[in-house]
Structures are given as C-alpha cells and as structure tokens.
Amino acid sequence: MIFLKTNEEIELIRESSRLVGKTLAEVAKLIQPGVNTLTLDKRAEEFIRDNNAIPGFLGYSGFPNTLCISVNSQVVHGIPSNYELKEGDIVSVDCGVLKNGFFGDSAYTFAVGEISEEHKKLLRVTKESLYLGIKQAVDGKRVGDIGFAVQQHCESNNLSVVRELVGHGVGRNLHESPEVPNYGKRGQGPKLRKGMVIAIEPMVNLGTRQIIFERDGWTTHTKDHKYSAHFEHTIAVGATEADILSTFEYVEEVLGENVI
C-alpha cells in the first residue's frame, strides 16, 4: 500500500532528511586517508543524537551501526569497521534518521584524496543520473520513467546499473511502497501521485552489473571487484516538479573545490 503524505508530514520528512544531509557533512569533515570507517560511524551517531533524533539504520532488521559505509567495490550496506581509508578509495556513506516519527534517507559517495579520472567519471555520472531520475518524479508519470532515465544515462556512459537493490517509499517507515528500481521502461510501473515520498538511489558499477551478497548478511560487492558508486535523495512527488527533501549542500560546502 502506498501512503500519500500531507503537506505537514512532508515538512517533517524534510526536517529528518535535512538532518541526514548535515550528518553526512559532519562525516565529510573526517574523510581522509588513515581514518577508519568506525570513526565515521561514531561521529554520525553522536551528531544525530545531539540533534534530538535517532539513527534510522541502527538495529533496523538487526543492522549493527548508524551508517552503511561501502568502500570501492562494495555497493551498499557495508558495515563500519577498523578498515582505514586509503588514498584513491571511494566511499559511499548512506544515512537514515528518525525524527518526529518520520524517516529521512540519503547517501553520498566520497573521493578519498586523489582518485583516478575513471572513478571521477563514475561518481559524476551516478550523481547526474540521480537528478535525471528526480526530474521524472512528477504527478501522472510512472516509476518506470524514473528507472528509465537513470538506466539510459548510466548505460550511455558505459556504466551498469544494479538490479537487485532499489529505491523505495519513505515515511513513518524507512522502507515503504513503492519500490523504485534504477532501470525500467517509460510508462510502466506504479503511477506517481502528488504526496508520494520516495528515495531515489542509483547504485552504479564501473564494470558488470552483477553483485555478490557477502556472508555478513548485509554487505554487497561487485562480482568483478570493480568500483561502485551510490547517491540518494529523499524526494516528494510534485504536481509539476519533484521537491527534493534531502540535500547535498552541507556536504558540498565541506568539500568545496573538491566536489566532483
């Protein structure tokens, strides 16, 4: 069942989603070679709790941490650890927050120091595909229009889109209907209606689209071990254009001239 949100509920989701953006910015301040991913996770939990909110992922279906941190060939759902970031790594940080009864959800993939031109392109095209998908999130279109836009942009740049993991509705629950794949056909799938709130989150691989689920029950990585990127916004479907409830502005203020 798809729940349409009132304007008041959308504003509460916006508050949660913007807190996610601020949390990702706190994490961005720490990302550099030599920092372990558990340090990033601890900072995120402190910041969320200091802002009178609850980490949305911690304990969700048994997930052990506040952030999903996925490095290099890890696609999503990586568990923070003692792994120390290295020059040339890319690291996807996915964060959820529960505040005032509503969730926010967003993700950003960071470069650690200098990365290759190939990996810069992966990050840039993945982020571009997110915004192309968001442009389709208007009343009367269909979920397939979002997936088609993401898939076409990525594949035209010789990148591949993960099929097994998808975006989703957001609201009182972290994951609600409908599912929002990053591939599809125009004019197909559930109809988009004003008041729907969804997370659009392209997961894009440099090589094959095939992924492997690791034994920890969470982490996924690319079958060919090539790098993968992930960007995510929580948005509200609008009458004429989508309303982006989460934000990268705080993150990109921190990154400054290093924004890719």
Sheet holding 203-205, edge to edge: 160-161, 203-205, 228-230
Which residues neighbour 241 within 8 Å (Cβ) at sequence distance 6 or greater?
Answer: 135, 138
The per-residue pLDDT for 10 is 98
Q: In whole numbers, what is the pLDDT of the chain averaged over residues? A: 98
Residue 147's pLDDT is: 98
**Share of the chain residues as helix, strand and coil, in percent rounded to the nearest 5:** 30, 25, 45
Which domains, ranges and CATH numbers included, belong to the chain? Answer: 7-258 (3.90.230.10)
* Backbone phi and psi for residue 131, each to the nearest 5 degrees, phi listed first: -70, -30
193-252 pLDDT, tens digit each: 999 999 999 999 999 999 999 999 999 999 999 999 999 999 999 999 999 999 999 999
How far, CA to CA in Å, does 143 sit from each of 16, 136, 161, 208?
A: 24, 8, 16, 24
pLDDT tens by residue, 130-189? 999 999 999 999 999 999 999 999 999 999 999 999 999 999 999 999 999 999 999 999
